[in-house]
Amino acid sequence: MNLARRELGVIRRMMREGRYVLTHHALDEMIADDLHAQDIEHIVMTGSVIRVEADRDSAERKFVIFGSSRDGFAAEVVAKIKGQVVIITVYLL
């Protein structure tokens, strides 16, 4: 199993356990795109990692997860693992 798939499994498990937080930026983007926490969970639980990036500031790995909102709109979630899942941003495509 490759790194991205393994890490996505960890992200999903942590989110099912409620071990995730949203940054202020993610909350702002959710409001702008009329998304809710259930949309974030749906994107992560049903989507796939399309890219792994290094965070500019910390060099930590960020996972770009492509999926769809509960209403079927294409969207991406950017998350990292730092003791819990940190949802950095989310946006509709």
* Spans of all domains in the chain: 3-92
pLDDT tens profile 3-43: 788 999 999 999 999 999 999 999 999 999 999 999 999 99
Tokens of 10: 């960890």
Rounded alpha-carbon distances, angstroms, from residue 9 to 30, 33, 73, 74, 93: 23, 26, 23, 21, 24
pLDDT tens profile 39-58: 999 999 999 999 999 988 88
pTM, to two decimals: 0.94
SS3 38: helix
Third-level CATH fold of 3-92: YaeB-like fold (3.30.2310)
